[in-house]
Amino acid sequence: MGKTVQRTYVTPLVIPALTAVGDAYNLGDDTASNRGAVSYEFQMGKYEVTNAEYTAFLNAVAKSDGFYGLYNTRMGTDTQGGISRSGTNGSYVYALKAGVANKPVNFISVYSAMRYCNWLHNGAQPDGNTESGAYRLLGNIPSNTTVLLRSAGARFFLPAEDEWYKAAFYDPSIAGMMTGNYWSYAVLSDTPSAASINFGGAFGGVSDVTTPGYPSYYGTYGQSGNVAEWTETVSGATRLVRGGHYASAAASVSAQGVMTLDPASQTANVGFRIAAANAIQSIGAFAGIPSKAYGDSPFAITLPVSSSGLPVSVTVKSGPAIISGNMVTVTGVGDVTLAANQQGDYYYDAAIEVTATFTVGKAAQIIGSFAAIPTKTFGVAPFTVSTPLASSGLAVTLSVKSGPAVLSTGNILNLSGAGTVVLAANQAGDSNFNAAPEATTSFAVIAPQSPFESSYNYWLTTYPALNVTNSGLTDDSDGDGASNLLEFAMDRNPTLATSAENSVIEFVGGELRITYTRRKDLSSIGLQIFAETSTALDAASWTNNGVVEQVIFNTSTTETVRASIPMQSATKKFLRIKVSK
């Protein structure tokens, strides 16, 4: 029934309460008329149209009412009526009488009921269209009512007899009854009762549409009793009226109770309820959402739209994300499914849910650089290593990748020897982050220096011209025949090629003498320097026996020594300076 028509949504002045009537293609009752068989699903008004709803309609469209006759003056004057009118034609104002807002409107012709349906069909707006939509009235009341039938695409309409009958009496849960699946009364009963039906004068006139409050199987109220209700079904020049009314006998409010009336009739005991088509709407597909990584910035999505024009609600159906408006924020790793829904309104059924899924992967992370660690000397006290930070904020683990060191609790590093130590920083990742690439740093650990090595190395620093190629103990960087070791011990300049710089060999008074300067700290650093004599210059003949040494001059750091040995006639003797460790 009806087709989907896209529209701009504006809140209607009246939103009728509807209930779904399902079970399409049900069988009719087991009577000759086969009443109640309907091959489609539709919606039925839960209640008869009330005075309050009809008053809103009149104030919207009937400021002038000289032609359509939407208002019957008996609505205001009759004790069963519920609506008063004031003002003059062109500026009429309609108001509810006291205590009748929720009672059914009466004194209604079929044409007024059809115009009410047209108004709902067109959005129930001020000055809304009453002449087309569900019924093509166009200001006229056709003399032949058979031409005034429901239009294709009608959203709201008077129920046809079968629609009305099914909503009132059908119950698919009671197969095997005498009349198929149909009750005799529209309160899930085959027995009339004044406790559940307003009939036979039990309520003294019209009652609230929610009273007595006993529903049919589909959830409609008052289809038996209260006021009789127009149907759309034509019978000759009349229309069928169903349900009986507040003064009817029991038979008239039963499934067998039906009467025909002139469609222009307006009486105290006849009102109407509406029915509605199941208007189908659909939701368009989501635009593609690319994969994301944990930690990505919130991103906007294009919200799907519904064919009805009604607003679509998008929620996170599952997965680690939240959505606000069209902004999605991922909160973890995994598959995220977004769901688009439109719950429908009194025009449209709820749309079938549309979903979209995207994947949130783990985020990459990196580890920052180590603080530089200078060269260490084996034997220094354990020291704390600063842990570099991971971009994820997760804890980083330190380890000794290689080299002579042991890492203990608190990242305290203990050196166990000389060599190169390589430290590694790792972060294994978690449910949201991949493992970080390993970060490393290295530093040298040197063996502790002896007092001599420490003193010699410091001495080298005072002569920048010396380098790794000419600073060894046996090197002779200045080419003067004295090794660096000798020049160190004698406190000479190793870059100045002067062999006699601070040593003198002479023959005086029958003695062979050599005068040289030496450092005072040599013994404290394990070094000796002294004069030796030889008669043959061979290695085995050198000795310091008979050599007399005398300090002849002092400074704060050096002393000048004269070494001498007596000379006999016709004897060859040699003197030299020797350094030993």
DSSP state letter for 250: G
| Sheet hosting strand 42-45, strand order edge to edge | 18-21, 42-45, 275-277, 156-157
Tokens of 324: 């606000």
DSSP state letter for 396: P
Paired with 321 in beta bridges are 330
Q: What is the pLDDT of residue 465?
A: 86
Q: What is the dihedral of CA 130, 131, 135, 138, to 10 degrees?
A: 170
Q: What is the pLDDT of residue 567?
A: 85
d(CA 485, CA 562): 20
Taking 50 as the pLDDT cut, the residues of the chain under it are: 1-8, 500
For 434, phi then psi, to 5°, come to -70, 160
Tokens of 222: 């008052």
d(CA 498, CA 517): 14
Which domains are delineated in the chain? Answer: 19-278 (3.90.1580.10), 292-361 (2.60.40), 376-446 (2.60.40), 454-580 (2.60.40.10)
Q: What is the pLDDT of residue 3?
A: 34
- pTM over 0.75? The answer is no
Q: What is the pLDDT of residue 8?
A: 46
In contact, 538 and 551? CB cutoff 8 Å: no
Q: Chain-centre distance of CA 29, in angstroms? A: 54
Q: What is the pLDDT of residue 220?
A: 98
DSSP state letter for 131: S
Give the 3-state secondary structure of residue 511. Answer: strand
Q: What is the pLDDT of residue 176?
A: 52
Q: What is the pLDDT of residue 271?
A: 98
**Segment (H or E) for 121:** helix 110-121
State the Rg of the chain over Cα. 56
Tokens of 115: 């115009």
pLDDT digits (tens, 9 = 90+) for 303-352: 999 988 899 999 999 999 999 999 999 999 999 999 999 998 777 888 99
| Block residue for tokens 């034997």 | 379
3-state percent helix, strand, coil for the chain, nearest multiple of 5: 10, 30, 60
In contact, 268 and 246? CB cutoff 8 Å: no
229-266 as b/e: b if 16+ CB within 10 A: bbbbbbbeebbbbbbbbbbbebebbbbebbbebebebb
In contact, 448 and 378? CB cutoff 8 Å: yes
Query: What residue type is assigned to position 439 of the chain?
Result: A
Query: What residue type is assigned to position 543 of the chain?
Result: T
